[in-house]
Amino acid sequence: MALETDFIVIGSGIAGLRASIELAQAGAKVSVLTKSKTSDSNTEWAQGGVAVVLSDDDNAELHEDDTLIAGAGLCDEEAVTTLVVEGTRYIKQLIDWGTEFDREGGNLVFTQEAAHSRRRILHAHGDSTGKEIVRALVARARQEDSINLLPFAHVEKLLVMDQRCVGVRFLDPILKAPRDIFARGVVLCTGGAGQLYQHSTNPPVATGDGMAMSYFAGAELADMEFVQFHPTALNIENAPRFLLSEAMRGEGAVLRNALGKRFMGDYDDRLELAPRDIVSRSIVSELRKTGTRTVFLDITQKSEEFLRHRFPKIYETCKYFDLDISKDLLPVSPASHYTMGGVRTDLWGRTTITGLYAAGEVTCTGVHGANRLASNSLLEGLVFGARAGKAALQDSQNWAVDSGRWTADTDRSETNPQSDRIATSVRKRVKRVMWERVGIVRDEGSLKRALSEFKQISKSSLSNASRNFVTLAKLVTEAALWREESRGGHFRSDKPEQIENWAIHSIQKRGAKIGSAETLDFKPEKVIDRAV
């Protein structure tokens, strides 16, 4: 017997939890499926904070301007306005729901990060902002009896019938077998694809499955060439690339090369507070100049007391690796961090497939353009998660759960047999190729060689997960080859200039050649009243 619910939400980060709450508040039954534990998401790993207009010396226009500048001419202005204006209301709501942002004397504490013109970053427990937001949202979700949280339920496929998404196929953690569940609508909140690269600050679950599943289901993807590399990941051999938050540079940390020289002044007048893409490329350039594998982050001018209070998680993690951040230079180098591209949506989370909605890092809403402004990602997940929930509710008023016409033979693509050893080998090969040929600095030759390698890998018998991984790597590479300029997070050494007539979005769809669009808001038939 097929499983049925009103709505399916895939993912339990900030976007997924906020969408689930929005749906449940209207009385809908919501099944939240995650491939790991409920709290395991990119949101939980977010250290630096969330950008929001709440301080007395800030306003929406300033936040919008900062976002547009960082986005290098590719942000959709209406999406950015939606983010910064509605963000204030939704953050206040989070506080009402018990989120404990850091305060001094009862007042919220705001910090500054790269490319922000004001101190507008809220943080929690110093450097555990995402973890605190997830805690509060999970607690709020558990108050809704109609939300059913299903951890370790790995979604394998979107089920599409008559050009509408009617459900998903997932691996049942109890039965250890694929199972179908049907709903009036599906909200995709699966996060990004940082694990495509050999070095990443993302958790192991960030493999881009939602993007790949949407592509195979026929949805459009946009701006996949734009990948953000965080400049300062802890660079210790045989250790995870632990993120050293942007906020450390906001508090005065400086970058030094292997000779001890502070070098950012050679690259940008904004020094360490230049946009992330510039800082990352500057580090790569400095590594090549010095013939070394690491640069150093220096925050030793701050007291141990201040650092333990402001960055407790970073302090303890570095201490584990015998580093005292108040005394030692911290070895760092860039690592993949955020995917600006993703499933193309309108301003209400609608994808190009009826019944399929998406929010958070899995999407491309046009908010981030070619380069995400620091700390806008949590705000995007919050705002557009709520909006996707609203749209799903309104659009599906006349839709019924449609499992009756679905049989096992309607769509039964068997998973190709593949040993764990082979799957691991495929993933390692793809990650290495992406890092070496489709990384911080790209060129036509390296991109074409990467595509050739992916073509060879694809000839093997791959599991669905491996097929998703290789396909997503190809999509990023094809988009990077298509864009013959440098812009934001996409830098080509053979096309180093930003070109005005390339201020367009890349659009990719299965079975079609890569194309372009002036705007991402594709104006679907049903439009929600903007006052909602």
The residue with tokens 């030692």 is 328
Q: How far is CA 202 from CA 16, 47, 233, 400, 502, in A?
A: 17, 12, 11, 37, 30
Task: Count CB-CB contacts under 10 A for residue 150.
Answer: 18
Q: How is 204-266 classified by DSSP, letter by letter?
A: TT-S-HHHHHHHHHT--EE-TT-EEEEEEEE--TTS---B--HHHHHTT-EEE-TTS-B-GGG
Q: How is 442-508 classified by DSSP, letter by letter?
A: B-HHHHHHHHHHHHHHHTS---HHHHHHHHHHHHHHHHHHH--S-BTTB-BTTB-S--GGG-SEEEE
Which is catalytic among the residues 135, 184, 241, 276?
276
H or E element, residue 298? strand 295-298
Instruction: Describe the crossing of helices 377-395 and 77-96 by its angle, rounded to 10 degrees.
Output: 90
Radius of gyration of the chain (CA): 22
Q: How far apart are the first and last CA of the chain?
A: 38
Question: 400: which 2 tokens?
Answer: 């019924």
276 is a catalytic site residue: yes
Contact 188, 357 (CB under 8 A): yes
The residue with tokens 């900062």 is 66
Give the span between the Cα atoms of 295 and 120, in whole angstroms: 28
Question: 383: which 2 tokens?
Answer: 């705002």
Contact 217, 498 (CB under 8 A): no
Closest alpha carbon to 154 in 135, 133, 138, 176: 176
Give the span between the Cα atoms of 325 and 459, in whole angstroms: 48
Q: List residues with catalytic annotation.
A: 276
